Amino acid sequence: MPLVPIFLALLGMFAFLALALPFGLVQRYRMGKARRRARGWVVALNCALTSLSIVVFLWGAAVTNFWVADAFRLSLMGCGVGLVLGAVGLLLTRWEGTLRGLHYTPNRWLVLLVVFAVSARLLYGFWRAWHAWQANAGDESWIAAAGIPGSMAVGGGVIAYYVVYWAGVWWQVRRHRKRFRGWSAA
């Protein structure tokens, strides 16, 4: 009976994901809208790593495009939407510059939009993959039928949003340091 432990392990992993995913999404929203201090090294690290992420993501989308039609095109479109949302996010962010440092509070509605987009696309991808696998999509592979290009578009949008957002925060930190450089010496 080696199938019973495997089934129980899979059931346990599914139960963990079913409980942990909603909790993680709520925490992501709570932390995403919180007021934070803009620390220069953290912002620079986030800016560098998200820039690297978008390069690797687009390279992966280009490679995926060999097997899944429209993967690269939709990824680029998602990145374009993410760039616009990132710029809007910077405009709607509340900035508080003091002698102690720069604090920022992201717009809660844009944070909610990003969290909702990721969670909705995950749920839709699972649902679509299940139905495509059940129907055995004929000539088309079930992976392509599961909506991989759409998921990649949402992923590109999220990565591009954070690239623009962290670049803007980095720019604000540099601007704040120049503005308050004379004040800190007094």
**CA quadruple 124, 127, 131, 134: dihedral sign:** positive
* Domain-located, residue 28: no
pLDDT score of 18 more than 80: no
* Domain-located, residue 18: no
- Residue 1 is predicted with a pLDDT of 56
* Domain-located, residue 24: no
Q: What percent of the chain has pLDDT over 90?
A: 34
* Domain-located, residue 21: no
* Domain-located, residue 14: no
* Domain-located, residue 6: no
C-beta neighbour count of 154 within 10 angstroms: 23
Length of the chain equals 186
pLDDT score of 80 more than 90: yes
Tokens of 108: 């809660």
CA distance 137 to 132: 6
* Domain-located, residue 23: no
Domain range for 49 is: 34-185
The position carrying tokens 């616009």 is 84
Contact assessment for residue 102 and residue 95, using Cβ atoms and an 8 Å cutoff: yes
Mean of pLDDT values over 32-40: 85
Mean of pLDDT values over 46-60: 95
* Domain-located, residue 66: yes
| 3-state class (DSSP) for residue 1 | coil
Among 1-5, 12-16, 105-109, whose mean pLDDT is lowest?
A: 1-5
- Cα angle, residue 14 at apex, residues 9 and 19 outer, rounded to 5°: 125
pLDDT band at 171 (very low <50, low <70, confident <90, very high): very high
- Residue 150 is predicted with a pLDDT of 83
Percent helix, percent strand, percent coil in the chain, to nearest 5: 80, 5, 15
- Residue 185 is predicted with a pLDDT of 41
pLDDT score of 182 more than 70: no
Give the pTM: 0.77
Q: How many distinct structural domains can be found in the chain?
A: 1
